[in-house]
Amino acid sequence: MTDSAAPAGAVFDARYARQIVLKGFGASAQSRLLTSRVLIVGAGGLGSPAAMYLAAAGVGQITLVDHDVVDETNLHRQLLYGTPDIGRSKIEAAAERLRTINPGVQVIAHEMKLSAQNAEALVRDHNVVLDATDNFPTRYALNDACLSHGVPLVYGSVARFEGQVSVFAAPDGPCYRCLFPEAPAPGTVPTCAEEGVLGVVPGIVGMLQATEVIKLLAQIGTPLIGELLLLDLLTHDQQRITISRRPDCAACRTQVRARNSSASSGPSPSASRSMNDVQHLSAIEVAALLASDTPPVLLDVREPWEFDTAHVAGSTLVPLNTLPSAISALNPQQSYAVLCHHGMRSEMAANWLAQQGFVSLINVAGGIDAWSRTVDPSVPRY
Ligand SMILES: [Zn+2]
């Protein structure tokens, strides 16, 4: 990096001195941040650290969208708010806090719910969007709007002690629908309220998202485009899984890319093999297949402690974060039914295996929890 892009005679606040002095960052990167506009959707567990660090870093404009009020159950992880804020509009309290952190940042606060109808208008005119939402309709609406305006989407999600981060909708990169073509059925993925989350987990994931935003805006480092970072904070196991752009992705096909694809950046050889569809079958349907003459291999992608707690007899344990290293022991021509706790990790695993050229993949909808409820009550629920 050079500082050649810095405006002549630029004068910066002393608050940015420690990052301007960084080799590979400098005045040019700081200038890019100061002239950037970032949309953050969700002012909760992920949005709190992301917004605070981006404001402190000197992002010129932060647009914040949320429609909730501060609840006491938010306070262990949503550090934008304090005890006196309980009952206040989140967006109002958040904007106040961000302006305190850095009065030089223009904070635009929208108290509203993002939807497929208003997403395009919100995304337009921003350089990067940060997905700090906690529901699938908003996530898909953001993905589609970012694709149609060529705006990169920094994705993050958390559950219990685990987190995921990626960058979608970047020029030539995959989108969220390339990884998860359709939203899971309502009620099949538990919420934070249902299964809990350790407060520091969204803190760390939100800061990783802020890091990706800064890298994209400042044009430094290598953003997680085409890669999904999986974190297990109980063990500090980390995995980066390659995600290819699906040639059959309905959302990518209709997008307007910000930049034209170069000849060398078309779909990778692995992406060209990713036409195989993943079937989503109920636990009852999978049980019937397992009892047939040509049963699939039941692949359990949960953690070992979960397997020890409850598993389906005859299943093979390959925890999700070990899948890339275990793939050589699997047969791409074999049919696999992939199982996890509630059906989300297994969907990710099945989609990823499809991208690697596996020909027959089934996601067990609802996971082992549905198995226990509908097939075999002797399998413990947890
Ligand atoms: Zn896509």
Rounded-to-integer distance, Cα 285 and Cα 29, Å: 54
3-class SS of residue 67: coil
> How do residues 132-149 score in pLDDT, each as one tens digit?
998 889 999 999 999 999
Q: What pTM was computed for the model?
A: 0.70
User: Within the chain, which residue ranges are assigned CATH 3.40.250.10?
Assistant: 278-374
Among residues 146, 178, 192, 249, which one is catalytic? 192
34-to-12, 26, 38, 152, 199 alpha-carbon distances in Å: 10, 13, 11, 18, 30
Residue 192 a catalytic site member: yes
Q: Ligand 1 centre from 276 Cα, in Å? A: 15
Mean pLDDT of 187-215: 86
**Neighbour tally for 292: CB within 10 Å:** 8
> How do residues 323-382 score in pLDDT, each as one tens digit?
888 888 999 999 999 999 887 788 888 888 888 889 999 999 889 988 998 899 999 988
Q: Ligand 1 centre from 173 Cα, in Å? A: 8
Rounded-to-integer distance, Cα 352 and Cα 107, Å: 38
* Torsional class of 376: left (φ above 0), alpha (ψ -120 to 50), beta (otherwise): beta
Rounded-to-integer distance, Cα 128 and Cα 142, Å: 11
Q: Ligand 1 centre from 33 Cα, in Å? A: 28
Residue of 213, 266, 254, 262 lying closest to 120 (CA atoms) = 254
DSSP per-residue codes, 79-98: TT--GGGTTSBHHHHHHHHH
Rounded-to-integer distance, Cα 288 and Cα 296, Å: 11
Cα-Cα-Cα-Cα dihedral sign, residues 165, 168, 173, 178: positive
Q: Ligand 1 centre from 140 Cα, in Å? A: 11
278-374 folds as Oxidized Rhodanese; domain 1 (3.40.250)
- Residue 91 CB-half CA count within 13 A: 17
Mean pLDDT of 89-99: 97
Q: Assess if CATH 3.40.50.720 describes domain 36-268.
A: yes
Q: Report residues near ion ligand 1: CB below 5 Å.
A: 175, 177-178, 249, 251-252
Q: Ligand 1 centre from 172 Cα, in Å? A: 10
> How do residues 248-304 score in pLDDT, each as one tens digit?
888 887 664 433 333 233 323 233 333 467 888 889 999 999 999 999 999 999 888
Among residues 146, 178, 249, 340, which one is catalytic? 340
Rounded-to-integer distance, Cα 16 and Cα 5, Å: 17
Name the token pair of 199: 């407060």
Mean pLDDT of the chain: 87
How many helices (H) and strands (E) are present in the chain, helices listed first? 16, 13
User: Within the chain, which residue ranges are assigned CATH 3.40.50.720?
Assistant: 36-268
Q: Are the CB atoms for 147 and 176 separated by under 8 Å?
A: no
> How do residues 33-46 score in pLDDT, each as one tens digit?
999 999 999 999 99
